[in-house]
Amino acid sequence: MIEADYVTTDPDVLEAYRSDRAGFVVAGRPAALARPRSTAEVARVLEFAHEHRIPVVPQGARTGMSGGATAVEGAILLSLERMDRILAIDELNHTATVEPGVINAVLSAAVAEKGLFYPPDPGSWQISTIGGNVATNAGGLCCVKYGVTSDFVRELEVVLADGRILRTGRRTAKGVAGYDLVRLFTGSEGTLGVVTEVTVALRSAAERPLTALAFFATPAAACGVVGDYLSSGRRPSVLEFMDSATVDAVSAYRDLGFPDDVGAVLIAQSDRGPAAHDDLDAFAKVAREHGATEVFVATDQAEADLLIEARRLVGDAVGELGDQLVDDVCVPRSRLAELVEGIAAIGHEHGVRIPCCGHAGDGNMHPTVVFDAADPDSVRRGQAAFDAIMQLGLRLGGTITGEHGIGTLKQPWLETELGEVGLSVHQAVKQAFDPRGILNPGKVLRRPPC
Amino acid sequence: MIEADYVTTDPDVLEAYRSDRAGFVVAGRPAALARPRSTAEVARVLEFAHEHRIPVVPQGARTGMSGGATAVEGAILLSLERMDRILAIDELNHTATVEPGVINAVLSAAVAEKGLFYPPDPGSWQISTIGGNVATNAGGLCCVKYGVTSDFVRELEVVLADGRILRTGRRTAKGVAGYDLVRLFTGSEGTLGVVTEVTVALRSAAERPLTALAFFATPAAACGVVGDYLSSGRRPSVLEFMDSATVDAVSAYRDLGFPDDVGAVLIAQSDRGPAAHDDLDAFAKVAREHGATEVFVATDQAEADLLIEARRLVGDAVGELGDQLVDDVCVPRSRLAELVEGIAAIGHEHGVRIPCCGHAGDGNMHPTVVFDAADPDSVRRGQAAFDAIMQLGLRLGGTITGEHGIGTLKQPWLETELGEVGLSVHQAVKQAFDPRGILNPGKVLRRPPC
């Protein structure tokens, strides 16, 4: 194995770095963990791995939901967590340049101090790294207005499979010189190269958002609001959906004074300063037209924070229900009601609870399949429900993953979504960047037969 | 040659399709012109070309500025102009699906009828095709607020080099299943595949924009306004710059009542309805702080249209000055003044006129080198100036092309911008998609030695 002060083979340390947060994914036994502090050290690891044909699994904070950062057998785990410097914040051109191990929340706070704003806000934003966000093309709540990670990545430094160092993209607002490799690397889950520096675009700080919350008797009523409200030209900064099972879980976790018989909730935010009141009044109007049973529009910041609290508690509240597998399908927003109702039906059919919430404005739902890991039958039913949800998403013209990625968890389903020609083109791209197949092998794409 | 009713070898027809609008680019002699009406016919052309290793040059409206659609020797010209149907406008999900030959203006008008908006607006928008816009990742005036073509492309159907048909991307607002091939194809100038169907995202219609125009004594004063105004958080829908030579050309072409001694002009638009007045008042304030000699803010639509007229006339007005070569460098916007002043210095040094205007908010300038094609010395000086401008753009941290693309015109400079590793990765990608090198060979990338 490569000898360097940033490499360890200590079994306890390896064990701690073996998995990300995906369920149903079996981690292999890693051979070593490298925690380099510089691009040169990353390059050294890849040169060594390339020469000896050793698999390399790049890792950020291992908060991924699909197994992208989970060890494969005999791999070098390549953690970028020590490359955590903010290299520059360019206030004139609204960009920031960071090493991949910088935590999203650290960058967000640093740019906020200068009156700037880095919008991508995955649920893990307080603990996940920018490098991981780039590797998975992370989304978040405010995508509905601002877009996802790839909409903000301008320039990358990438160490290639053989250890060569590539700079690609540009710092300018526009540019079409050559192929868009920046967006090819973004979301490629460490299978095409290892990102060692990222320049992101920033925006001027938005106003603090105001919030509205509406209760509905049925999911279909809430979904109808989503389409009508967005079609009216409004651009909410958040537009979230929670079904009744999610609301029940939150209410059991903390009493927010919600009514007992909620069929669905929508939460909308607007960050347009004084115009936010107008945006939310319009939301309330559309909600009432669709039969909302109650609508609350915050009149000040304290009320606004209270109303969004329900959404913030979902992860912890649903986590109390049992073992779980978080899904991530995305459909055209006109099909949202069919998706939500179909998920409920899948829960009934397979005898599992599937609280469902998510980014309604983008048609991106996170149904959480709750099961008992100690009960093989429950596990089997949970997996069947998880698969049925992806199948439903595809049937509704959607995708099996809106923002969590493929990893190993969804690899068989990726082949269904891509089709034969798409899969073959993906394999050709992988082969072009990683002919020896050492970069995160078996993630996204199946390992080719030896 | 392939025999079909959509293929011709008529020399007069071939001659008419031989070139796009790039200067200094020598077109080869095509062997045939194919004008298929369907994806199946496009696939048939590519299967034939692949089997016989015949170069294929995809073409839209041939309005490109870099030679991307210009014939190479012995090629089949593959014009997509007959595939010009709008297949669907999805009002619920804000997307449109079109064949590649649909004219940008036709799509824009069709979606406007439904209260929707397709923002990308290259200068050629009234005559260029969506397929060509995708192939070049076309920009335009309103990029400063809305982004470029690739920000709107969701799903593509692409015929691959060997005639296989790929569908890639998705219609949903988000999705991370597999590599971002949509953005890899977008801007690849027909070197990786032939786009036969495009699904673009739409937005709700914007309000008609209002306009402000400011005169400055120097370009530096105008460039200072750009940075300060955008840093203040305003998002103008247009922010254009014109230097004195451009203003002189426009005034000579049509008397708009402009003063005689203008050093530079900025034109700003805002499409935020009633809030546009506030945006433009803020613009006027910043302009005056930077020493604007006069500022006009339109109070109604008629005045607004009059003020933007100067910008609209630039192409025709500068066209009157002589033969020309339009450049397209983009720099970080903090370097805009250095770029503009440097371009003027290059004009003096090489003894050529270089009126300069462009998309100031994006740092993307279009200096036009004016020369006399009948005078070899003038041509030589023009080419030297053209090259010096790209060198200056790179030195200022920018790119050799913000929105026009590489084609053949800028190919040697692309190698400088990409560097050795970047070039090698580009060649590997090209090889993966087009192993026989039949797709627009010699465009973007140099032809490999036989």
Q: What is the identity of the amino acid at A181? A: L
Q: What's the maximum distance between 2 C-alpha atoms anywhere in chain A?
A: 67
**Gap from B405 CA to chain A (nearest CA, Å):** 6
SS3 category, A151:
helix
The answer to whether residue A447 sits within a structural domain is: no
**Gap from A377 CA to chain B (nearest CA, Å):** 29
Instruction: Assess whether pLDDT exceeds 70 at residue A33.
Output: yes
The predicted structure's pLDDT at residue B25: 86
Structural domain count of chain B: 4
Residues A161 and A93 in one domain: yes
The predicted structure's pLDDT at residue A351: 97
**Gap from A260 CA to chain B (nearest CA, Å):** 32
Across the interface, which of A164, A174, A181 has its CB nearest the CB of B403? A174
The predicted structure's pLDDT at residue B450: 62
The answer to whether A422 contacts B397, with C-beta atoms less than 8 Å apart, is no
Domain boundary among B204, B222, B250: B204
Residues A296 and A326 in one domain: no
Across the interface, which of B172, B176, B402 has its CB nearest the CB of A175? B402
Residues B166 and B104 in one domain: yes
The answer to whether residue B445 sits within a structural domain is: no
Domain boundary among A315, A331, A346: A315
Across the interface, which of A364, A397, A410 has its CB nearest the CB of B171? A397
The answer to whether A177 contacts B428, with C-beta atoms less than 8 Å apart, is no
The predicted structure's pLDDT at residue B344: 97
The answer to whether A429 contacts B426, with C-beta atoms less than 8 Å apart, is no
Q: What is the identity of the amino acid at B285? A: K
SS3 category, A155:
strand
Q: Could you tell me the pLDDT band of residue B23, with boundaries at 50, 70 and 90?
A: confident
Structural domain boundaries enclosing A196: 86-204
Mutation choice for B interface testing from A117, A179, A333 by most B CBs within 10 A: A179
| Whether the Cβ atoms of residue B253 and residue B320 lie closer than 8 Å to each other | yes
Phi, psi dihedral angles at B292 (to 5 degrees): -55, 135
Q: How many pairs of residues across A and B have Cβ atoms under 8 Å apart?
A: 249
Contact residues on chain B for A414, CB-CB shorter than 8 A: 177-178
The predicted structure's pLDDT at residue B300: 84
User: Which pLDDT tens digit goes with each residue over B366-387?
Assistant: 999 999 999 999 999 999 999 9
Residue ranges of E strands in A338-414: 356-359, 364-371
Contact residues on chain A for B433, CB-CB shorter than 8 A: 425, 428
The answer to whether residue B1 sits within a structural domain is: no
Phi, psi dihedral angles at A306 (to 5 degrees): -65, -40
Task: Name the pairing type of β-strands B95-98 and A356-359.
Answer: unpaired
Residue ranges of E strands in A251-337: 264-270, 294-297, 323-326, 329-330
The predicted structure's pLDDT at residue A307: 86
User: Which pLDDT tens digit goes with each residue over B145-203?
Assistant: 999 999 999 999 999 999 999 999 999 999 999 999 999 999 999 999 999 999 999 99
The answer to whether B233 contacts A397, with C-beta atoms less than 8 Å apart, is no
The predicted structure's pLDDT at residue A82: 98
Residues B259 and B340 in one domain: no
Mutation choice for B interface testing from A89, A91, A171, A172 by most B CBs within 10 A: A172
The predicted structure's pLDDT at residue A295: 96
Residues B91 and B200 in one domain: yes
Across the interface, which of A137, A334, A421 has its CB nearest the CB of B93? A334
Residues B277 and B329 in one domain: no
The answer to whether residue B412 sits within a structural domain is: yes
Residues A297 and A325 in one domain: no
Instruction: Give the CATH number of the domain where residue A47 resides.
Output: 3.30.43.10
Instruction: Assess whether pLDDT exceeds 90 at residue A449.
Output: no
The predicted structure's pLDDT at residue A414: 97
Instruction: Assess whether pLDDT exceeds 70 at residue A450.
Output: no
Tokens representing A343 are: 């998920």
Residues A247 and A299 in one domain: yes
SS3 category, A53:
coil
| Whether the Cβ atoms of residue A114 and residue A91 lie closer than 8 Å to each other | yes
| A182: enclosing H helix or E strand | helix A181-185
The answer to whether residue A441 sits within a structural domain is: no
Nearest CA in chain A to B159: A421
**Gap from B338 CA to chain A (nearest CA, Å):** 14
Contact residues on chain B for A398, CB-CB shorter than 8 A: 170, 172, 175
The answer to whether A333 contacts B205, with C-beta atoms less than 8 Å apart, is no
The answer to whether B417 contacts A178, with C-beta atoms less than 8 Å apart, is yes
Q: What is the dihedral of CA B435, B177, A63, A4, to 10 degrees?
A: -10
SS3 category, B384:
helix
Give the ipTM: 0.97
The answer to whether B361 contacts A160, with C-beta atoms less than 8 Å apart, is no
The answer to whether B425 contacts A168, with C-beta atoms less than 8 Å apart, is yes
- Quote the Cα angle for B345-B348-B349, to 5°: 85
The predicted structure's pLDDT at residue A299: 85
Residues B409 and B359 in one domain: yes
| Whether the Cβ atoms of residue B81 and residue B87 lie closer than 8 Å to each other | no
Across the interface, which of B177, B332, B406 has its CB nearest the CB of A417? B177
Counting every residue written for chain A, the total comes to: 450
Task: Name the pairing type of β-strands A238-243 and B356-359.
Answer: unpaired
Across the range A112-122, mean pLDDT stands at 97
Q: Which residue from B66, B54, B122 is spatially nearest to B412, judged by alpha carbons?
A: B66
The answer to whether residue B355 sits within a structural domain is: yes
Contact residues on chain A for B93, CB-CB shorter than 8 A: 332-334
Instruction: Assess whether pLDDT exceeds 90 at residue A422.
Output: yes
Instruction: Assess whether pLDDT exceeds 90 at residue A224.
Output: yes
Q: Which residue from B173, B158, B422, B250 is spatially nearest to A360, judged by alpha carbons?
A: B173
Across the range A364-371, mean pLDDT stands at 97
Query: What's the mean pLDDT when you consider all of chain A?
Result: 96
Task: Name the pairing type of β-strands B32-34 and B76-79.
Answer: parallel
Q: Could you tell me the pLDDT band of residue A448, with boundaries at 50, 70 and 90?
A: confident
Residues B251 and B309 in one domain: yes
| B256: enclosing H helix or E strand | none
| Integer Cα distance of B108 and B130 in angstroms | 10
Q: Could you tell me the pLDDT band of residue B2, with boundaries at 50, 70 and 90?
A: confident
B375 Cβ partners below 8 Å, 6+ apart?
A: none
Nearest CA in chain A to B205: A233
Contact residues on chain A for B180, CB-CB shorter than 8 A: 137, 150, 180, 183-184, 186-187
Contact residues on chain B for A419, CB-CB shorter than 8 A: 167
The predicted structure's pLDDT at residue A75: 98
Residues A252 and A299 in one domain: yes
User: Which pLDDT tens digit goes with each residue over B242-287?
Assistant: 999 999 999 999 998 899 899 999 999 999 988 999 999 999 999 9
| Integer Cα distance of A173 and B361 in angstroms | 9
The answer to whether B160 contacts A444, with C-beta atoms less than 8 Å apart, is no
**Gap from A262 CA to chain B (nearest CA, Å):** 27
Mutation choice for B interface testing from A176, A229, A329 by most B CBs within 10 A: A176
Residues A347 and A378 in one domain: yes
Domain boundary among B315, B347, B362: B315
Instruction: Assess whether pLDDT exceeds 90 at residue A441.
Output: yes
**Gap from A254 CA to chain B (nearest CA, Å):** 32
User: Which pLDDT tens digit goes with each residue over B306-363?
Assistant: 888 889 899 999 999 999 999 999 999 999 999 999 999 999 999 999 999 999 999 9
The answer to whether residue B442 sits within a structural domain is: no
The answer to whether residue A432 sits within a structural domain is: no
Mutation choice for A interface testing from B93, B134, B148, B172 by most A CBs within 10 A: B172
User: Which pLDDT tens digit goes with each residue over A55-72?
Assistant: 999 999 999 999 999 999
